[in-house]
Structure 1
Amino acid sequence: MQFTPTQKRVTAWVLLALVALLALRALGPVLTPFVVAAVFAYALTPVVDRLDELWGGRMPRLAAVIIVELLFLLALACVVLLIVPVLAKEIPLIREQMPALLDRLQATVSPWLEQFGINVTFDLATLKARMASYLNQNWDDAFPSLLSSLKLGGSVALTLIGNVVLIPVALFYLLLDWKIVVSKVLELVPPRMRPGFDAFTGEADGVLGQYLRGQLLVMLTMAMYYSIGLALFGLDLALPIGVFTGLAMFVPYVGFGIGLVLALLAGLLEFASAKAFVMVAAVYGSGQLLESLVITPRFVGERIGLHPLAVIFALLAFGQLFGFVGVLVALPASAVLLVAIRRARAGYFGSQLYHS
């Protein structure tokens, strides 16, 4: 059987893609810091270029890279310092107030269910004893088990520390030499294929860049909204929970759900149950409407085509196949696949096969 030149090229690209996927899966742990750094470099390179343009090209790229990376690392540190108080304060409160919380839940849920003819009785004494034992045991054993795992699994701890050190270093060099790296990759593309390849990658870059920039604005706007909304109800942990909810919206629906649960749990531990439910319903209900009807259409736009369900599926599918590295490459791969589907669809509708 003879293959045409076009079939040979398609077969070669398919085999190359399969080899790349197999390598990605086999070398996932080794590639993780470099993939993380590459994703951050892709997002931060426009900031470095913009900073260089503001100074009329007089600022050395080295200085621009150092400024941008330091600000980025500082922002990450601030996010971590905001999330830690949530865990540090809520876990002891859960352990101390769980019996009272169960009593309040029994007094609230049982009468409400009885209105529908459903009689439910809880063995609160046994439930309290078991939950208290579980929380006390796990809380007391958390740090010893952590230290033990660090001692027994020294390679894991060493890998974690190595990634923490390696990612900023790799990010620095990628930001510094991003244009050189991109040009070296483009040199591998045959000259006759460059126009089509440039058009394809340009469209994919536009889709992904617009999505990431728009999603970042959505996350920051909603973080401010949830923080202010929870603070108006007097919640002590309004700022960390609001910021966490906004940033976790990078994963559509899932991040919102986790933030809602955290806010409800904090409200039940701090307020009466009625006020906690009202707070969550008012802040998160209005926030979801605002984000869906106003913020996301304005900042992200329908024309991008990355549907929230497609984003969730891509994150889960790539994460299942390639682990943490798969989660990092899910959105870029989705953008490329989206452009490929658009072009294939346009080619099909313009072909004789469709019109025959």
Structure 2
Amino acid sequence: MNLRNQVLIWIGFFVFLILSLWIFRGILLPFVVGAALAYLLNPLVNQLQKLRINRGWATALVLASVVVIVIGLFVMLLPMIIQQVVGLVQRLPGYAADLEALVRRWAPELSQWLGPERAAQVERSVSDILGQMVGLAGILTQEIVNSGMTLISLIGFTIFTPVVAFYLLLDWDSMVRGVHDLLPRRHRAEILGILRDIDSSMAGVIRGQGGVLLIDAAFYSVSLSLIGLNFGLAVGLIAGLLSFIPYVGFGVGFTLSMGIAIVQFWPNWWMVAGVGGIFLGWQFIEGNILYPKLVGGSININPVWLMFALLAFGALFGFVGLLLAVPLAAIGGVLVRFAIRKYKASSLYLGSSHGGHGGSPTA
């Protein structure tokens, strides 16, 4: 098989995959979450197997423990989270009006400090930002209402997701062996190398970045609540759960918390500075300690490409697309890097009749 046919086959495969995702996007959520859960928990099941526990019992034990923990957290925290999120959305227009009133109150000082034209420009900019924030809150609320699960779909999700995860975990080893057996003998070593790179990248996405996301949400929620910020739990969760989009979680959380802090604590600037310090300090810790330790260079995706993937898959497939965007972007990155390596070893790049490093013209 020549290079052109291989490229056409892979392009056809990805077109088929995208079409399948688009056709079945309405029912994919429990399967996507179940598969991610199985991938996340497979190392724990393997560890229990090393202790001579049957694969079925190990799967049931690990999955039951996770379900109990999740249900316990939901029972304890969900009412409080809903109350805070709903309260924040309802109170956001009031915060915007209060901030606008403060800006008007500071207008004489701003005019004296910046000059009349610049002060008016600052006032207009603040009003525009506040208007966009209120509009965004309204759009977000409407989207949640429109795309929210009905009771039947919620029950289906909570039932099907653990079932999907259980059967995937139970048959994980046999599925891996089945994939290995289907690989073409001639290129098996090369394909296995690609699959190892994909596995490393997926581990960085699901285990590493997922861990960073949860730690961010927990830190912001606890810290903002302890400092006494109104709706600190809701703001912290929003900032943490949006942190999978580069800079968006920090930007949204910082803007929301500083706006609330100025209205709530003014004129106590020490408290406002404390709220800002929580975000700025944790951003430094996350970028220099947490992210390198848990994720490292395993994902290796340009932030611009990641944001494009999130917007594109979100527009095409909705919430399921957002869940799939980062893993598929990571897989795409591995395949693109492999294609670049093959291109640089080919006669097309080298300008000779034979590929470099002993490369086969059919590779």
By the TM > 0.5 criterion, same fold?
A: yes
Q: Deviation per CA, 1:147-175: give whole Å up to 9, x if none.
A: xx89xx9x965445433433233233323
Equivalent AA in structure 2 for residue 57 of structure 1: I
Mapped pair 1:260 → 2:257: no
Structure 1 pair 327–305 and aligned structure 2 pair: CA distance change class (3 A): same
| Secondary structure of 1:28 counterpart | coil
Aligned equivalent of 1:347: 342
| Secondary structure of 2:21 counterpart | helix
Counterpart CA distance in 2 for 1:98 and 1:331 is 33
Mapped pair 1:334 → 2:333: no
Structure 1 pair 192–347 and aligned structure 2 pair: CA distance change class (3 A): closer
Aligned equivalent of 1:24: 21
Q: Deviation per CA, 1:170-214: give whole Å up to 9, x if none.
A: 233323333334444444444444333222111110122034333
Structure 1 pair 40–77 and aligned structure 2 pair: CA distance change class (3 A): farther
Mapping of residues 1-356 of structure 1, within 5 Å: 6-53=3-50, 55-57=51-53, 60-61=57-58, 62-75=60-73, 80-81=78-79, 83-91=81-89, 93-94=91-92, 100-108=98-106, 111-117=109-115, 118=117, 120=120, 158-227=152-221, 229-231=223-225, 233-272=227-266, 275=269, 277-302=272-297, 304-356=299-351
TM-score normalised by the chain length of structure 1:
0.75
Of the structure 1 ranges 228-237 and 330-339, higher mean CA displacement relative to structure 2 is found in 228-237
Structure 1 pair 21–238 and aligned structure 2 pair: CA distance change class (3 A): closer
Q: Does the 8 Å contact 1:28/1:325 carry over to 2?
A: yes
Counterpart CA distance in 2 for 1:161 and 1:110 is 57
Of the structure 1 ranges 249-258 and 157-166, higher mean CA displacement relative to structure 2 is found in 157-166
Structure 1 pair 192–78 and aligned structure 2 pair: CA distance change class (3 A): farther
Tell me by how many angstroms 1:100 deviates: 4.7
Structure 1 unaligned regions, length at least 5: none
Tell me by how many angstroms 1:231 deviates: 4.8
Q: Does the 8 Å contact 2:225/2:233 carry over to 1?
A: yes
Tell me by how many angstroms 1:29 deviates: 0.7
Tell me by how many angstroms 1:250 deviates: 2.0
Structure 1 pair 194–69 and aligned structure 2 pair: CA distance change class (3 A): farther
Q: Does the 8 Å contact 1:90/1:266 carry over to 2?
A: no
Of the structure 1 ranges 69-78 and 191-200, higher mean CA displacement relative to structure 2 is found in 69-78
Counterpart CA distance in 2 for 1:176 and 1:76 is 26
Counterpart CA distance in 2 for 1:46 and 1:109 is 60
Equivalent AA in structure 2 for residue 23 of structure 1: S
Question: How many pairs does the alignment contain?
Answer: 332
Tell me by how many angstroms 1:236 deviates: 4.9
Counterpart CA distance in 2 for 1:89 and 1:197 is 52
Q: Deviation per CA, 1:303-332: give whole Å up to 9, x if none.
A: 641233332222112222333332222222
Structure 1 pair 354–181 and aligned structure 2 pair: CA distance change class (3 A): closer
Identity %: 30
Tell me by how many angstroms 1:249 deviates: 1.2
Q: Does the 8 Å contact 1:48/1:65 carry over to 2?
A: no
Q: Does the 8 Å contact 2:36/2:206 carry over to 1?
A: no
Equivalent AA in structure 1 for residue 10 of structure 2: W
Q: Deviation per CA, 1:51-103: give whole Å up to 9, x if none.
A: 444x4436822223322333345456666455324224434545667665543
Q: Does the 8 Å contact 2:205/2:295 carry over to 1?
A: yes
TM-score normalised by the chain length of structure 2:
0.74
Structure 2 unaligned regions, length at least 5: 352-363
Instruction: Kindly report the root-mean-square deviation, in angstroms, between the aligned alpha carbons of the 2 structures.
Output: 3.9
Tell me by how many angstroms 1:256 deviates: 1.7
